[in-house]
């Protein structure tokens, strides 16, 4: 059972790496030294916070589903594919919350509040993750599907 947890966290580390790579687009420390690049710093911090909260909010039901597959004597490839689907779903939720935050933040005319869009991003992402966890729990608690 321990290797399933290691496998899940390995996928999340890969997601964090690629998420940071997409947002930064530069590999120098100069991006963090300029005052005009502070929105980039805030976005990187918001992305990392969103990814870590995705790990902690979804880990229980990811492990629940993976142990169900493991009890069914599924192959390792099936476990990897299932974990990848959950991570892709989390990535899509993060993208949707980012687009909502950009839309709402674009309506505000305050240019001096660089941290406002990342805070909106975090808030919207937490709401979407919570709703997705509730939808999953409602799905598994229905009479048509139960993995317990």
pTM confidence score: 0.66
User: Which DSSP string do the residues of 61-103 spell out, in sequence order?
Assistant: HHHHHHHHHHHTT--HHHHHHHHHHHHHHHHHHHHHHHHHHHH
| pLDDT tens per residue, range 63-116 | 666 666 666 666 666 666 666 777 777 888 888 998 998 888 888 776 667 778
Q: What are phi and psi of 147, to 5 degrees?
A: -110, 10
pLDDT digits (tens, 9 = 90+) for 12-69: 777 777 777 776 665 455 655 567 777 777 777 888 888 777 777 776 666 666 666 6
């Amino acid at each position: 059972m321990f290797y399933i947890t290691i496998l899940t966290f390995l996928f999340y580390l890969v997601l964090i790496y690629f998420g940071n790579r997409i947002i930064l687009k530069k590999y120098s420390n100069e991006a963090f030294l300029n005052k005009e690049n502070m929105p980039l710093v805030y976005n990187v911090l918001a992305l990392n916070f969103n990814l870590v909260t995705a790990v902690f909010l979804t880990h229980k039901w990811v492990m629940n589903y993976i142990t169900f597959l493991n009890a069914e004597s599924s192959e390792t490839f099936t476990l990897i594919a299932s974990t990848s689907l959950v991570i892709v779903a989390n990535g899509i939720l993060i993208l949707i919350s980012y687009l909502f935050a950009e839309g709402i933040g674009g309506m505000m005319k305050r240019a001096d509040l660089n941290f406002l869009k990342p805070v909106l991003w975090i808030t919207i992402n937490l709401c979407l993750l919570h709703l997705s966890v509730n939808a999953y729990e409602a799905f598994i608690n229905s009479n048509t599907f139960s993995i317990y």
